[in-house]
A = this chain, B = another copy of it.
Amino acid sequence: MSELQNDRLLRALLREPVDVTPVWMMRQAGRYLPEYRATREKAGDFMTLCKTPELACEVTLQPLDRFPLDAAILFSDILTVPDAMGLGLYFEEGEGPRFRHPVRDRAAVDALPVPDPEGELRYVMDAVRTIRRELAGRVPLIGFSGSPWTLATYMVEGGGTKNFALSKGMMFDRPELMHALLEKLAQAVTLYLNAQIAAGAQAVMIFDTWGGTLTPDDYREFSLAYMQRIVEGLTREAEGRRVPVILFTKGGGQWLEAMAETGCDALGLDWTTDIGEARQRVGDRVALQGNLDPCVLYASPESIRRSVAKILERYGEGSGHVFNLGHGIHPTIDPEHAAAMIEAVHELSQPYHP
């Protein structure tokens, strides 16, 4: 493997000194980039893009060729694991992801296999290996997975949902069945992330997109407990370095203390929590990643710069902060506005790393 030329991300995630605050963006390889839309067009459909390692590598690297980002993140879908479990993932135009075989009863849960990451999911590992080779040490590569709870909602509903009628219905009425499903998902995700690490991922992130729709008790029992199990099962060292783990629950600002206790290295923050207050609450235990409102990128470069400055000031001096949006970049953002954000982070963060 090539030597890492820019390790700011890894250092900041471990709260080690850095020269400037590192920055990347959730969904940085995405529809706001014309070059992404061109590759997507070439691929035909979205899953072909995910399942063709060369194309996944191509879109992963696109934002790095355009912006001085401090990390690459594997381009993939969060639903690859349920798809490999045999649920039959497909995308309906304008409808989002759907599953042909939702999981709604004991027989369906029991029948779910735990996929072999180098079997049905080999295309993901091949993408990781290809990206690492092509990155040639420019920046670290982040691997990722959806959280068990987040995956379970899609698997039970048969796709995206606004109301969580079936998934929460199962959680309330048949908690033991939901736990069986989550247990299987925690096993599968642990294997999946460890395989990504073995293939070359230098940090990993667990996206808990829907944990924030739960009550505090239900969050701890049905989402956090399974993320903790994953954290405990992960390989934490590779290529002679620690592999940091980032947990991100959207809407989880009230539960940072509990999240920090899982043993992860960093927490993702959406924009509804002040990062300075978050640092006071958990900054002695974990690094923080975030937390610009993605809507700021709709505004002018001057407004963007002002908002970046405020977050850097709130976090304050020292390492332990990875700048990011509080959620994925919106598809209609002007790439020049993303450039303004990234430039502002590097420039304005220097005084905080004396």
Contact = CB atoms under 8 A, between A and B. Distances in A.
Contacts of A271: 215
Interface string A122-149: 0000000000000000000000000000
A216 interface: yes
A217 B168 contact: no
A63 B165 CA distance: 22
A228 B64 CA distance: 46
12 contacts: A163-B332, A165-B298, A165-B332, A166-B298, A172-B295, A172-B299, A172-B300, A214-B272, A215-B271, A216-B273, A217-B310, A251-B272
Given A165-B330, A215-B293, A332-B165, A173 B274 contact: no
Contacts of A172: 295-296, 298-300, 303, 307
Contact of A253 (B165, B218, B254, B277): B254
Interface string A153-195: 0000000000111101100110000000000000000000000
Given A166-B298, A168-B299, 12 more contacts: A163-B330, A169-B298, A169-B299, A172-B295, A172-B296, A172-B299, A172-B307, A215-B271, A216-B277, A217-B274, A218-B293, A254-B254
Nearest to A168: B295
Contacts of A274: 215-217
Contacts of A169: 295, 298-299
A212 interface: yes
Interface in A276-312: 277, 293, 295-296, 298-300, 303, 307, 310
Given A165-B330, A303-B173, A332-B165, A216 B272 contact: yes
A111 B132 CA distance: 58
Nearest to A164: B295
Number of this chain's copies in the complex: 2
Contacts of A216: 272-274, 277
B212 A168 contact: no
Contact of A168 (B164, B298, B310): B298
A296 to B, nearest CB: 6
Contacts of A212: 272
Interface string A313-344: 00000000000000000101000000000000
Contacts of A165: 295, 298, 330, 332
Nearest to A270: B215
Interface in A195-234: 212-218
Nearest to A303: B172
Nearest to A271: B215
A104 to B, nearest CB: 13
A310 B217 CA distance: 10
A179 to B, nearest CB: 15
A251 B254 contact: no
A163 B214 CA distance: 22
Interface in A253-269: 253-254
